[in-house]
A and B are shown apart, each in its own frame.
Chain A
Amino acid sequence: MTENRRRILIVEDDRETAEQLVEFAEANGYEADLALNGEEGFERGRSPDYAVMVIDRMLPSIDGITIIRRLREIGIVTPTLIISALGEVDDKVRGLRAGGDDYLVKPFAFAELLARVDALARRSTAVVKDMVLRVGDLTLDLVSRSVTRAGREIELLPREFQVLEYLVRNEGHVVPRAMLLQHVWDLHFDPTTNIIDVYVGRVRRKVDSSRDYPLIHTVRGVGFCVRAPS
């Protein structure tokens, strides 16, 4: 899956973090603009060119949440990822997921940040109503809810099918554990146990064992990724 170079806006007051973010975004196919304070962030954020905005919750002078609210008031609907040091404790931030935006708790893995930015960037474009999903020799029939690999049927429980479907829909992108939990189980917290890994592990055994190549990959510390060898 190839992505056009997309512009994102990063609003972060800590210079070192900001530069790390820009570097990482640019290394992963984004063109990143940086704003080091709230006012600048708001001014730049008025541009409709950005695919995604990444905004720190705690900024001197204007708060991250306020920037989003003010941008929404003037009709800017750019999907936004808020970075918060408070995270789940912060109800305002929690509310973001309900509004279609997203949040990430500081400190975070860059891979997870990228996964979430990717997901927000994709949201506006790729909503294709496929009936059949394919990755490598794996086929998911969304109508009959059946899975085959190299023509041979794989038995999956309904929830396992949903997990695989979500991973396949995000083919080539890392899906963080919390996102999987959110989309498949509708749970909005980060589990402290490795339960998701165990669950995906079982799906992987059914899908990948004794096959030519694995499709479901674990991304250490972040989540999972479905990828066929190129």
Chain B
Amino acid sequence: MAIAGFGAIVLSLLGYIYWSTTSYVASRTDRVIAAEQSLLQAAYDRGGRGALVAAIKARIAERAVDGGLYLLADQNFKPIAGNLADWPRDLSSGNFDAPGTGRRSSYRVLVRTLPDQWRLLVGQSTEDLESFTRAIDAALAFTLLLIAMLAGVVSILVTRRTVGRIESINATSRAIMERGLAARIRLRGVNDEWDELAKNLNSMLDRIEALMREVREVTDNVAHDLRTPLARIRGRLEKASGTPRKAESDQKLVDDTIGDLDGVLRIFSSLMRISQIESAARTEGFAIVDLATIARDVVELFDAAAEQKPITLSVAGDPCVVVTGDRDLLFDAVANLVDNAIKYGKKNGMVTVTVRALEHEALIAVADDGPGIPSDEFAHIFRRFYRLERSRCTAGNGLGLSLVAAVAHLHRARIDLKDNQPGLAFRLLIPSGNTTPEDRA
């Protein structure tokens, strides 16, 4: 397709060059004839026939080798002066005996009838034009040949390269199908579209690999976190089945079992909630929400929990910061951050929720002044079920921050972690012109 288009363009370009040069040369010939004609006409006007004949002779002498053709004939076409022996029989063919050589040649001619019925013929040989046209023909043919050869070579090279790159992608695909996700497409390092494609495919593979690793970790963790309470329940029931019934201990057994099952169900619903948010199916719930109001509501809700610790919980920043989002989810995310901050903050410490309208984004940050976490753990804490070793004994299922990350992702927000010196600051940066992913696509 592209080659046909290229060929058509080249051909029409060459055609145009041919047409414009030949028509230029032809019109130049016509201008020469017209100039000669008007020169002779001027001589005739000045001095009549005598002057005209003299002028013709002078022009012939002057342009001996230029291929100029002059003939003055009377009303009976009898030649009077000029370098043509006879008045040509067939003027339209343009083929006359060349003056002085007897050789026939092509001419363009102009005939004018003078006021006394004499006729003046002025012509110009087109031999120059023809040889020029031939030269152009040859040049164009050569060019065409050269271009065709060049195009052939280039297309062979491109095809070979394309096939080579496709083959390397194919080979990688086969390797992945046979031996797993480790293989990557080799880059040429030339930064062309093929490298771009290979880079994108490679980063897609990286992402898939990371997700699969995460799923595996989550599965392991789910297995662990669910097995523990289930094993407890099983053990308890097994022990109970071997002992006689006693109202008091039976009640405790039943209550503990229900409590453990509730824990298991909570993990399930958290996981489902996160995967639902991650599938980004909830953007239809987006509306204009005020982050400051959310922050105040969260702080108010957690006021009692903070009091218990005790921790001073407060809101700071701008009084109204509007974004487009899902109020429930944003509330849940901020609530999770505040919950963590209170849980891991130090006694008699401070937890501050800050809301601020920045230039292109809205900031909501939750900061505590507790022990914080080592900065090399920053990258891991948003993973599902991730819990620092030292927090394994605290209540919670390690899903809170995954939920925060999922909510942030849904809102196209950035999350970052900062050492609050002392303590930890979680910052959520939501784009101000936040729209739903469908709107952006």
A binds B: yes
Inter-chain contacts of A105 with B (CB < 8 A): 269
Is B147 an interface residue when CB atoms closer than 8 A count as contact?
A: no
Residue of B nearest to A200 (CB): B304
Flag B248-261 by CB within 8 Å of A: 1 or 0 each: 00000001001100
Q: Is the beta-carbon distance between A87 and B281 smaller than 8 angstroms?
A: no
State the CA gap A87–B258 with chains docked (Å): 20
Is A129 an interface residue when CB atoms closer than 8 A count as contact?
A: no
Partner of A89, one of B273, B301, B302, B307: B273
Q: Is the beta-carbon distance between A88 and B276 smaller than 8 angstroms?
A: yes
Q: Is the beta-carbon distance between B304 and A201 smaller than 8 angstroms?
A: yes
Is A195 an interface residue when CB atoms closer than 8 A count as contact?
A: yes
State the CA gap A89–B273 with chains docked (Å): 7
State the CA gap A216–B275 with chains docked (Å): 37
Please classify the interface of chain B as helix (H, G, I), strand (E, B), loop, or mixed, using the class held by over half of its residues: helix
Is A91 an interface residue when CB atoms closer than 8 A count as contact?
A: yes
Is A190 an interface residue when CB atoms closer than 8 A count as contact?
A: yes
Among A107, A109, A188, A191: residue with most chain B CB under 10 A: A191
State the CA gap A88–B396 with chains docked (Å): 20
Inter-chain contacts of B281 with A (CB < 8 A): 91
Q: Is the beta-carbon distance between A198 and B305 smaller than 8 angstroms?
A: yes
> How many chain B residues have a CB neighbour from A under 8 Å?
33
Is A213 an interface residue when CB atoms closer than 8 A count as contact?
A: no
Residue of B nearest to A203 (CB): B304
Contact residues of A between 182 and 196, Cβ < 8 Å to B: 185, 187-193, 195
User: How many Å from the CB of B171 to the closest CB on chain A?
Assistant: 41
Partner of B272, one of A87, A159, A202, A220: A87
Is A136 an interface residue when CB atoms closer than 8 A count as contact?
A: no
Q: Which of the four size classes fits the interface of chain A?
A: 20 to 34
Is B331 an interface residue when CB atoms closer than 8 A count as contact?
A: yes
Is A221 an interface residue when CB atoms closer than 8 A count as contact?
A: yes
Inter-chain contacts of B335 with A (CB < 8 A): 191, 193, 195
Contact residues of A between 59 and 92, Cβ < 8 Å to B: 86-89, 91
Is B195 an interface residue when CB atoms closer than 8 A count as contact?
A: no
Inter-chain contacts of B301 with A (CB < 8 A): 159, 185, 195, 199
Q: Is the beta-carbon distance between B307 and A187 smaller than 8 angstroms?
A: no
Residues of B that sit less than 8 Å from A by CB: 255, 258-259, 262, 265-266, 269-270, 272-273, 275-276, 281-282, 284, 297, 300-305, 307-308, 328, 331-332, 335, 339, 396-397, 399-400
Residues of A that sit less than 8 Å from B by CB: 86-89, 91, 105, 107, 109, 157, 159, 185, 187-193, 195, 198-199, 201-202, 220-221
- Interface pairs (17), CB distance under 8 Å: A89-B275, A91-B281, A91-B284, A189-B273, A189-B332, A192-B269, A192-B270, A192-B397, A192-B399, A195-B301, A198-B304, A198-B305, A199-B305, A201-B304, A202-B303, A202-B304, A221-B258
